[in-house]
Structure 1
Amino acid sequence: MGNNSIQVNLCSTGKEKPESDQLQFGRVFTDHMFIMDYSQPEGWHDARIVPYQPLTIDPSSMVFHYGQTVFEGLKAYLSPEGDAQLFRPEKNLERLNRSNDRLCIPPIDEDFALEAIKRLVALEKEWIPDSEGTSLYIRPFIISTEPYLGVAPSQQYKFIVILSPVGAYYKEGINPVKIAVENNFVRTVTGGTGEAKTGGNYAASLKAQELVANSGYAQVLWLDGIERKYIEEVGSMNVFFKINGEVVTPALNGSILEGVTRNSVIQLLKHWNIPIIERKVSMEEVYQAYKDGLLEEAFGAGTAAVISPIGQLTWKLEHLFINNGKTGEIAKKLYDTLTEIQYGKQEDPFGWIEKVKEISNSTI
């Protein structure tokens, strides 16, 4: 599939764009979306950009009953020169295909999917907000649409991309958050779907988050689902700890999602010659490091917040106040560096930025 195989149907009148300072996360959507269908034996076909609109699918579509669905999340940023650019989008599409494999969804052509995303972003460039810290959130997802109630992989799917202008995650600068260690519920287990980005993982996480939110906590720290001993993720982010001058993060084990921001953090730390180790990390080890005065920083890493410092951890009724509840030096440096590369304000030595070419009406 190439450039010309995406049909474009433009909307007649565009929606009113929200003010940059009024943006919430994922509430407003742009004028257009991308759709592509899959059926057997035809494969993926009928790629098109159409006006943003409701979907019409059968009530017996398998996605409603067996949860066969995957998604991704990435952003488009506006550089100081006014260019639209993406941050490591190929990594998101690689992960989408890994999720597809785990959920028995047919793979997509990653190069073509990236071209489709670029064309959609180029078409909707005026929707990319230009205020500090704002961006255009990109949500590619695949749903199973075969009308069938048998428990088996679907033979029909839709691959859809929608866009949403989003505000700055931190309204008043990067702020540490309070986190509760979760001892009862588990997000997923090794051998399950934890390393795939699929809706069921997020549905499973809601109850624990709802309970701690009532006590003033931003998120939960997930422990492994077998021994309830080893740290996995924080909320929907990967997690890092700086212990006695060394940064450690849980090794990928089949239940931890491999984040694009996680990968980028590890590369940056190596680039700065800061010791970074991927291994099993127990909550007991983190607690002991805190008692010994060696727990220097803790932070989450993910697309929405980029870096989210942890100022307090609560475990077994004990409160661990990390770095006096302030943002640590490494967390701040990572946040500043990643966001400046994403927005084109700093040199990109890793080749992470993918520019989106302008399109004119003649090329639509």
Structure 2
Amino acid sequence: MNFGFIFLIPFIILGIFILFSGIFTVKQQTAALIERFGKFQSTRNSGLHFKIPVFDRIAGRINLKIQQLDVIVETKTKDDVFVRLKISVQFQVLKAKVYDAFYKLENPHDQITSYVFDVVRAEVPKMKLDDVFERKDDVAIAVKQELNEAMSDYGYDIIKTLVTDIDPDVQVKAAMNRINAAEREKVAAEFEAEAERIKIVAKARAEAESKRLQGQGIADQRREIARGLEESVDVLNNVGINSQEASALIVVTQHYDTLQSIGEETNTNLILLPNSPQAGSNMLNDMIASFVASNQIGEQMKKENEARGIGKPKRKKRTPPPTSPLDDSDIDY
């Protein structure tokens, strides 16, 4: 009896092993394909499943998650610049087409890579290097359209394609950096020149306003000086000093005031020539002599003109033309 039980133990263990070999599980977002004698039998989704031991086997499992494949393509642009583009393809196996995805393609990654190379090398040579950076979305859309048309028959859905990197040749990158730096320096120079121009214009306007106010101040000063001289002459005349003596006194007084103001400035560069007290009197005498000579010459010319007009017939008095609204009497000489 004991020998018979011992003889059955291997068969019991084999039966238990065969029983448990028919039980299997499938993970979430995964599909398992069952074959019976080498022929596709069914597709099992996530959960606990049973298959016929010995007759059925798991041919393979397919990941149903969204996957990403990075493809680096080197090509040439329209302006003969070699550039490397990194294309990221996000794809997913359709649950309804797990059979096609498993049995129709041996290596889906190689298939996707081939289509990416084909599309990129057909689109990028049509563009210049700057256009590749600006229109990289167009390249990504073209890759997605081509892949969707090709891979949908194999049970793959292309979720999105992205151009994640554009890497030109090293020398081209250095040249682009120099161009960019030169452009920025040009813009900076233009802004600096504009700022300098604004400063110059503002300074010129300030100087013009300053000179205008300075001229107005000088005019007001001279007007007040003339009024003060007039009042001083009137005061001196009231005390019995004639106009010539009053003028001489005022000139000498101003001469000494000028010398005093110059002496108060320690760092002045002004030199008064001549600086003797008689200089003021001499200058006044010269002015008076000039005025007297001018009056005498004017009187002599007037007499000569009157003498030439004696004995000539009198001309008929002509009616004066109508005067303009601005009469000679309105003009202040």
Larger Rg: 2
Note whether the superposition's TM-score is higher than 0.5.
no
Name the one with the larger helix percent. 2
Superposition TM-score, scaled by structure 1 size: 0.20
Higher relative contact order (CA 8 A, sep 6+): 1
Name the one with the larger strand percent. 1
Superposition TM-score, scaled by structure 2 size: 0.22
